[in-house]
Structure 1
Amino acid sequence: MAAAATPRVRRMPLWLGWTLALLVAAGFSALGHWQLQRARDKQALLAKTEQVLARRQAGPLSLAGAPDGLDWAAGHGRFTDAPPVLLDNQLREGRAGVRIYRVFQPLQGPPLLVELGWQPLPADRRLPHPPKPVQTEVSGLLMPPPAAGLAGHGAPAAQDGVLLALGLQPQALAGPLHAPGLAPRVLRLDPALPWGYPRDLEVLPNTLPPERHLGYAVQWFGLAIAVLATAALLTFRRRRAARAKIGG
């Protein structure tokens, strides 16, 4: 009985292989360009922060009504009776904790969230209950709120008289805080003020520095080059095998 013929494996056409390789390489290159842009944006933010902190020329708190930018601001007013907002998942010196925010109503301008500082969370995650500050004058760095992560877009949870939030979105917090017109920017309280909690003016907390984004960009571009190099090598080998077969 004759042996069954071995089925012939059909090779992918060269044009299709190169089309797939170019698409994958283009995708990797797009990710590399995105990481480069992230690095540039963060480097520009750091440079702007250094400039503002070097001058520390105080403007009015009403500047918080502008949606973007960095400004040093100072002014008088009062902290309202709105509950404190605890921003969860905040690391400081390797410890997990929360950043504490309270609503401040300046004499002029919209109410705004003021960051009072950071507090650690114990193992049982018992939330702190920071009292309302009695101070009537604040100063610090006005900036957009910390960027929310993938899980930071949910509604804040009310627990024992405080609001626990995964992301700081003034528009979403205006209702629970009974603060209509809450400013889109927040005030990072001056660490030199002798009240509040441990704090700093780090503008990229819990996020990647520009150098890491640059490193990721190099990796993505490297993968794009590797895909094209592999496609070129396979094409060369395939054509060499075809010539050898014809010559044989």
Structure 2
Amino acid sequence: MARRPHPAAITATLAGIAAFIALGSWQVRRAHEKEALFAAFDGAAQQPPVPLEQARRETGARYPRVDLKGRFDPGHAYVLDNQVRDGRAGVMVYDVFEPAAGAPALLVNRGFLARDARGELPSIPPPPEGAQTVRALYAPPPGSGLRLGGDALPHQTRWPKTTIYLDLAEVGADLGRPLDSRVLLQLPGDEVTTFVREWKPDVFPPERHYGYAFTWFTFAAVVAATFFILNRSPQPPRREEHR
């Protein structure tokens, strides 16, 4: 028979279990959202292109494809360092693209370049000259993560400029002109290139959220089990029968 626990202990236990279950359920919902996001991302390259103005209106878990005409700015580019793909360290290369329609310029992520065994980068291929049509996904800029220090771009004098985070406002100020609020992830084309263009959403994968959910549900189970164990009445000693 269980002994009657203190009301405060019951309240605290129920509150803890409810909180852990709520956190676990939230992580499951986030995992479902990420699954939908990855599914939309995987199919985006096969979708027909839409005008840039329409792409700007499609927010949320969509990465619309655009075929944008314009020219690359050959004198300005940015290298996003500390990137990893398939276990290899390297950089992402962003070039400035000026749409023919006169819209604000965009940063085009031309792809990933891996460092060699000595940690050196290969020479960065320049963007093509003249009028171009860029096939790309219209996507949010990469997350900045934890930032230490201020904007280092103005202090660099050589191009391309290297950074460990990409802030579009800071890049626009560095260029002296406004930029679009999103970037273009260039899709693979017929040209031979050293860039790796295997795009993924810049977010936690669904598996990470399922792992967090499992942890929170485990905490709820541990709290419930601990409450039960601590409030069990000890079994009375068994009497020995005398013959």
Structure 2 CA distance for aligned equivalents of residues 103 and 231 of structure 1: 61
Superposition map of 1:148-159 within 5 A = 148-151=144-147, 155=151, 157=153, 159=156
8 A contact 1:155–1:165 mirrored in 2: no
8 A contact 2:50–2:64 mirrored in 1: yes
Structure 1 CA distance for aligned equivalents of residues 78 and 111 of structure 2: 11
Superposition map of 1:1-248 within 5 A = 14-55=6-47, 57-63=48-54, 65-66=56-57, 68=59, 69-81=62-74, 83-108=76-101, 109-121=103-115, 123=118, 130-134=125-129, 136-151=132-147, 155=151, 157=153, 159=156, 160-180=158-178, 182-194=179-191, 196-204=193-201, 207-236=203-232, 240-241=233-234
- Cα distance, 1:175 vs. partner? 0.8
8 A contact 2:112–2:197 mirrored in 1: no
Structure 1 CA distance for aligned equivalents of residues 199 and 26 of structure 2: 23
Structure 1 ranges of 4+ moved more than 6 A: none
Structure 2 CA distance for aligned equivalents of residues 82 and 38 of structure 1: 41
Give the letter aligned to residue 202 of structure 1: W
Deviations 1:162-202 (A, max 9, x none): 3333333323321113231x112211111124155422342
Unaligned runs of 5+ in 1: 1-12
- Cα distance, 1:154 vs. partner? 5.8
8 A contact 1:143–1:186 mirrored in 2: yes
Partner secondary structure for residue 110 of structure 1 = coil
Unaligned runs of 5+ in 2: 237-243
Partner secondary structure for residue 165 of structure 2 = coil
Judged with a 3 Å threshold, the aligned counterparts in structure 2 of structure 1 residues 220 and 168 are, in CA distance, closer, same or farther, namely same
Judged with a 3 Å threshold, the aligned counterparts in structure 2 of structure 1 residues 152 and 62 are, in CA distance, closer, same or farther, namely farther
Partner secondary structure for residue 231 of structure 2 = helix
Give the letter aligned to residue 115 of structure 2: L
TM score, norm. by length of structure 1: 0.75
TM score, norm. by length of structure 2: 0.77
Judged with a 3 Å threshold, the aligned counterparts in structure 2 of structure 1 residues 170 and 33 are, in CA distance, closer, same or farther, namely farther
Q: CA-atom RMSD, angstroms?
A: 3.1
8 A contact 1:141–1:189 mirrored in 2: yes
Match of 1:7 in 2: none
